[in-house]
Amino acid sequence: MARIVKNVGSEIDPQALANPTLAFLKSYWESKRNGRAMPSRADIDPLEMKEHLGWIILADVLAEYEDFRFRLVGTRVTDYFGRDITGKRLSESYAGFGPAALKMALAVYRKVARDRIVLRTFGKAGWLGQDFLEFEQLFLPLSEDVVRANMVMSAFTFDAGRQALKPRRG
């Protein structure tokens, strides 16, 4: 039986971000655009984002937006999911969470890349399993040619204090 994704919302081009990591990332991305639709990966300097790197995910857009490959997954994100998905495709990383979760994740990444928009998702992640807490994520497109997004940068955040109290999956 397929799990149904519930209690998740989204917002296109959020203007008020309470989470300091998400607010920083959106402001940083905006500053790197320099009047363009979106910045390139080369515009992004990890040293300028040092305080937030544990929350950052970089995903390459694969042919015709069919899938995405995780190039970088921050340590805090890895802690949340209990495994490192760096180098894996989104489709293989989400497959264990059921078809509804995979469909939703692909739809979000595709929308951001195809439409070249900033998108915030948020909600309760119980549909991933009982160990998962509420989350908030900001997705931003990156482009080498300013026309087509070839990467999606995001910050996946959650209450790290509550995460530390959870028993480790083994």
pTM: 0.87
**Exposure b/e, 16-38, CB count within 10 A at least 16 = b:** ebebebbebbbebbeebeeeeeb
Q: Which residues contact 51 (CB under 8 A, 6 or more apart)?
A: 24
Amino acid identity of residue 164, one-letter, is: A
* Predicted pLDDT at 20: 94
* CATH number belonging to the domain at 19-32+53-165, selected among 3.30.450.20, 3.90.1300.10, 3.30.1330.10, 3.30.365.10: 3.30.450.20
CA distances from 63 to 41, 49, 56, 140, 162 (A): 18, 29, 23, 18, 38
Is 80 exceeded by the pLDDT of residue 6?
no
pLDDT 10s digits, 38-59:
999 999 999 999 999 999 999 9
pLDDT single digits (tens) 117-154? 999 998 876 655 555 577 899 999 999 998 999 999 99
